[in-house]
Structure 1
Amino acid sequence: MSRLSARLFSHFYTPLALLLGGLAAARQPSLNEFFTSLFNVLPTVLLLVGGAFCIAYARIREACLLAVTYLSYFLLDTQVDHYRLTGTLLPEAALTFHLCCLLLPALYGLYALWHERTHLLQDGLARLAVLFAVAVPAFALARRFPEATLDWLAEIRWPFLQADWLPLIQLAYPVFVVALLGLFIQYLRRPRPVHAAKLVVLAGLLLMLPQVFSRPGALNVLSSVMMLALVVSIAQEAYQMAFRDELTGLPGRRALNERLQRLGRHYVIAMADVDRFKAFNDTYGHDVGDQVLRLVASRLRKIGGGGRAYRYGGEEFALVFPGRDLQHCLPYLEAVRGAIESYPLQLRDKTSRPKIAEQGRQHRGAGAAGTVSVTISIGAAERLATQRTPEEVIKTADQALYSAKGAGRNCVRAHGDNRRGAVRAEKQTTSA
């Protein structure tokens, strides 16, 4: 499995783990008093906490998903409680259940695919209007004509699809399939943790509904873990927005600041800067500049020697080596500098770029508008007894970086070493 596919699949780790745990708990014959009480209040707690979290981060779409899931849970919980206490179903139980099976995937899929485009309040009101426009007439019709509505919902329209392993009404399955397909395409287009969670949650709701009356805790447990999966995915994206640089995928400045607070007494910090980066942007445009930053980040991410790369800002990167000394780190810094220099960045003519990815892979290297050689300068500094804080070490590494720039760029220079600390490669002609 490639690193990209592994990273994308990691978006599913948490929601799938929650789903599997919820399915395992729902299959238990009975839950003890503690877990029964917990799962009775957890959906409401998650709605309130998760809803507040979504509003604080302007995630009205996810707030609506929590609301739709909770509304279905609330309607079904009344029926399940009566069935659990008396062993009989309320007269409206079947109709309520079938309506939830149909409307839940329809509204969930609609809200999950509906992008936020306007003001937060306007967006929320629009979604609320859709909820009322769909749910209120449906339940009003069911209340006014219960038998006719139940017969229409339960009608067998496709006899060849009638099977014991498809216990829901037939109309529910096409809606679930369309919604799942739409969410899958959404994830492929924009692989994000919250999009992965939406897909897993909808699949979990599909697995939950047939167990609502047959297993005592299925509704409470699975509703809770599915709502929890949505909240966790929002928190995960909030963390990534705060601590990870979106362009390069490296940890960002805030993550670096957090790491600096946990360094010991011995460490090395190196500052790397892309040579003549402004010239790349001015000559080839900002899209090529972004390619350069991604290229440099991909190589710095592979730094050895126990180091870790961070995007410091602009075209500057920081590399932290906890528990290391300078002489240990210099060979690894030189290796990554050479790896970046030896990788020619191909510039393509956008007008002749194949629109199909497979054709692009087959013709890779052909039709290139030119190549550019990307180089970086690196300044490194070791924490000394005279330096009290990591910020002072960063300033020292910056001084070494300026020294590397003054030495002709494309080299590694250690602070306080004017000769042995500098390793400079022969300049290569930039072609375009």
Structure 2
Amino acid sequence: MIRLARLRFSHFVSSLPFLLGGMVAARLPVLNEFFISLFNVLPTLLLLLGGAFCMVYGRQREVVLLALLYIGYFLLDIQVDHFREHGQVRSDAVLVFHLICLLLPALYTLYGCWQERSHLLQDLFARALVLLAVGAVALGLARRYPQGIADWLVQVHWPALHGSWMSLAQLSYGMFLVAFIALLVQYLRLPRPLHAAQLVGLLGLLWMLPQVFILPHALQVMSSMVMLVLVAAVAHEAYQMAFRDELTGLPGRRALNERLQRLGRDYVIVMVDVDHFKKFNDTHGHDVGDQVLRLVASLLRKVGGGGKAYRYGGEEFTLLFPGKSLEQCMPHMEAVRLAIEQYRMQLRDKQNRPRDDRQGKQHRTGKSANEVSVTVSMGAAERQAQQRRPQEVIKEADNALYSAKAAGRNCIRSAAQRRGAVRVVVDGD
């Protein structure tokens, strides 16, 4: 099921700059000697170092994609070098070029849609076996029927669909179209930076292949950029794994700790806890509990006043307001607390679940026996002379959160209010 809310431009942030930069650099008539030397060795470096980096994170799919791109680059580089040295192409250039233009997008899509398995070595062996089998068949046919295969590849199979702008064989464009649709569907079904990078890389190959014998640096530059796109996407996802909570999409505790090190003199920290979450989880099940956490996270993400939400752990969240006082933050905290309290959540079976958000909103307008709501308690603390370190402020916010729970939950308590209540009790004693 495709959910447009999960599609983000940020998935393409690590990929598009390399593609655009590669297109610009490849079109330059002259490159500095340093960059010429760099792009001559960069594909090999990316295969070795980038492949090792992908293996560390268990991304065997990207390892094989890098190997596939390098094989294509290597075979085309042989043809291009001969063309530059002798002023004419090799006798097998037409056959090799059009075979690569057909098989490269086909295998790129096959491996791009081939999900990783838990057994790393077995998965790599299976992918390598497919690559060897396809390569062996292509090599065997090319050696036995070189002219027949070449004529079939360059033949216009569908005259009505042929255009004068086509620089590649018609079959190649058909394969690129199938590849683009397959990778696009994969991204729409499961939006993630790696799937976005595969789409961008495919576009880079489509742009590169017609320019191989025309632009002097197109092959080296764009092959490097497409491989770099994949490695950068692996790094992007590795960062998300470390700093972003997978369930809610909020920055995680490690991201919060990093941000706490760069705070100024004034800030407010708010600890947020979902009321009676364990009881709710035990009653309705863990799947519904996960929905509740995602709901709370989505509403906390909308907090105003310059605040930012983090997943602290379990059913606890943190709101951070840099450069603010407690008085300035209180209205925004109350607004988000009220939004969570007023939100009505419908418990439905997956078979009866609305197909889109509009139907879901219509269901939420009326009351239902399966309707539930959740509330949160909040404890807030701002930096004081007595609490200079962020961890001390967090401890104060935690104590204020316990005070909010003791006061009946679904409310906000500040550290100052808690200290005032303690003084009243002490004085009364």
Determine if the TM-score, normalized by the shorter chain, exceeds 0.5.
yes
Q: Which residue in the other structure is 1:357 paired with?
A: 356
Can you list the C-alpha shifts for 1:304-338, whole angstroms capped at 9, x where unaligned?
22221100001000111222222222222222211
Q: Secondary structure at the match of 1:53?
A: helix
Whether the aligned pair in 1 keeps the contact of 2:400 and 2:418 (CA below 8 Å) is no
CA distance in 1, matches of 2:205, 2:147: 26
Q: Superposition pairs for residues 251-270 of structure 1, below 5 Å?
A: 251-270=251-270
Change in Cα spacing, 1:268 to 1:367, as seen in structure 2 (3 Å) is closer
Q: Which residue in the other structure is 2:107 paired with?
A: 107
- 2:404 matches 1:404: yes
Q: Which residue in the other structure is 2:72 paired with?
A: 72
- 2:383 matches 1:383: yes
Whether the aligned pair in 1 keeps the contact of 2:61 and 2:116 (CA below 8 Å) is yes
Change in Cα spacing, 1:368 to 1:197, as seen in structure 2 (3 Å) is farther
Whether the aligned pair in 2 keeps the contact of 1:348 and 1:367 (CA below 8 Å) is no
Query: Which shifted more, 141-150 or 409-418?
Result: 141-150
CA distance in 1, matches of 2:120, 2:138: 27
Deviation at 1:293, TM superposition (A): 1.0
Q: Kindly provide the amino acid, as one letter, of the partner of residue 356 in structure 2.
A: A
Whether the aligned pair in 1 keeps the contact of 2:299 and 2:336 (CA below 8 Å) is yes
Q: Secondary structure at the match of 1:348?
A: coil
Q: Secondary structure at the match of 2:413?
A: strand
Q: Superposition pairs for residues 140-219 of structure 1, below 5 Å?
A: 140-219=140-219
Whether the aligned pair in 2 keeps the contact of 1:348 and 1:369 (CA below 8 Å) is no
Whether the aligned pair in 1 keeps the contact of 2:6 and 2:191 (CA below 8 Å) is no
Deviation at 1:98, TM superposition (A): 1.1
Whether the aligned pair in 2 keeps the contact of 1:264 and 1:322 (CA below 8 Å) is yes
Q: Which runs of 5+ in 2 are unaligned?
A: 422-429
Q: Which residue in the other structure is 1:249 paired with?
A: 249
CA distance in 2, matches of 1:254, 1:295: 22
Deviation at 1:380, TM superposition (A): 1.0
CA distance in 2, matches of 1:118, 1:301: 34
Deviation at 1:358, TM superposition (A): 7.9
CA distance in 2, matches of 1:382, 1:54: 43
Deviation at 1:217, TM superposition (A): 1.0
Deviation at 1:388, TM superposition (A): 4.4
Aligned residues: 419
Q: Which residue in the other structure is 2:340 paired with?
A: 340
Q: Kindly provide the amino acid, as one letter, of the partner of residue 53 in structure 2.
A: F
Change in Cα spacing, 1:63 to 1:199, as seen in structure 2 (3 Å) is same
> What TM-score comes out, normalization by structure 1 length?
0.91
Q: Superposition pairs for residues 311-350 of structure 1, below 5 Å?
A: 311-350=311-350
Change in Cα spacing, 1:305 to 1:156, as seen in structure 2 (3 Å) is closer
Q: Kindly provide the amino acid, as one letter, of the partner of residue 326 in structure 2.
A: L
Q: Which residue in the other structure is 1:53 paired with?
A: 53
Change in Cα spacing, 1:5 to 1:286, as seen in structure 2 (3 Å) is closer
- 2:35 matches 1:39: no
Percentage of identical aligned residues = 64
Deviation at 1:353, TM superposition (A): 3.1
Change in Cα spacing, 1:400 to 1:362, as seen in structure 2 (3 Å) is closer
Q: Secondary structure at the match of 2:363?
A: coil
CA distance in 1, matches of 2:156, 2:302: 58
Change in Cα spacing, 1:188 to 1:420, as seen in structure 2 (3 Å) is farther
Q: Secondary structure at the match of 1:416?
A: helix
Q: Secondary structure at the match of 2:164?
A: coil
Whether the aligned pair in 2 keeps the contact of 1:204 and 1:226 (CA below 8 Å) is yes
CA distance in 1, matches of 2:359, 2:329: 39
Whether the aligned pair in 1 keeps the contact of 2:248 and 2:293 (CA below 8 Å) is yes
CA distance in 2, matches of 1:7, 1:420: 47
Q: Which residue in the other structure is 1:96 paired with?
A: 96
Q: Kindly provide the amino acid, as one letter, of the partner of residue 417 in structure 2.
A: D
Can you list the C-alpha shifts for 1:41-70, whole angstroms capped at 9, x where unaligned?
111111112101110000001111111111
CA distance in 1, matches of 2:125, 2:201: 24
Whether the aligned pair in 2 keeps the contact of 1:82 and 1:90 (CA below 8 Å) is yes
Q: Kindly provide the amino acid, as one letter, of the partner of residue 223 in structure 1.
A: S
Tell me the C-alpha RMSD between the 2 structures. 2.3
Whether the aligned pair in 1 keeps the contact of 2:193 and 2:237 (CA below 8 Å) is yes
CA distance in 2, matches of 1:108, 1:270: 47
Change in Cα spacing, 1:6 to 1:360, as seen in structure 2 (3 Å) is closer
CA distance in 2, matches of 1:404, 1:167: 69
Query: Which shifted more, 305-314 or 173-182?
Result: 173-182
Deviation at 1:256, TM superposition (A): 0.7
Change in Cα spacing, 1:108 to 1:378, as seen in structure 2 (3 Å) is same
CA distance in 1, matches of 2:418, 2:257: 29
> What TM-score comes out, normalization by structure 2 length?
0.91
CA distance in 1, matches of 2:360, 2:274: 28
Deviation at 1:169, TM superposition (A): 1.9
Q: Which residue in the other structure is 2:276 paired with?
A: 276
CA distance in 2, matches of 1:154, 1:91: 16
CA distance in 1, matches of 2:267, 2:88: 69
Whether the aligned pair in 1 keeps the contact of 2:211 and 2:218 (CA below 8 Å) is yes
Change in Cα spacing, 1:348 to 1:419, as seen in structure 2 (3 Å) is farther
Whether the aligned pair in 2 keeps the contact of 1:198 and 1:230 (CA below 8 Å) is yes
Whether the aligned pair in 1 keeps the contact of 2:14 and 2:236 (CA below 8 Å) is no
Q: Which residue in the other structure is 1:240 paired with?
A: 240
CA distance in 2, matches of 1:21, 1:371: 52
Q: Secondary structure at the match of 1:164?
A: coil
Q: Which residue in the other structure is 1:309 paired with?
A: 309
Deviation at 1:190, TM superposition (A): 0.3
Deviation at 1:226, TM superposition (A): 1.1
Deviation at 1:248, TM superposition (A): 1.1
Change in Cα spacing, 1:415 to 1:362, as seen in structure 2 (3 Å) is closer
CA distance in 1, matches of 2:65, 2:159: 33
Q: Secondary structure at the match of 1:417?
A: helix
CA distance in 2, matches of 1:305, 1:335: 11
Whether the aligned pair in 2 keeps the contact of 1:404 and 1:411 (CA below 8 Å) is yes
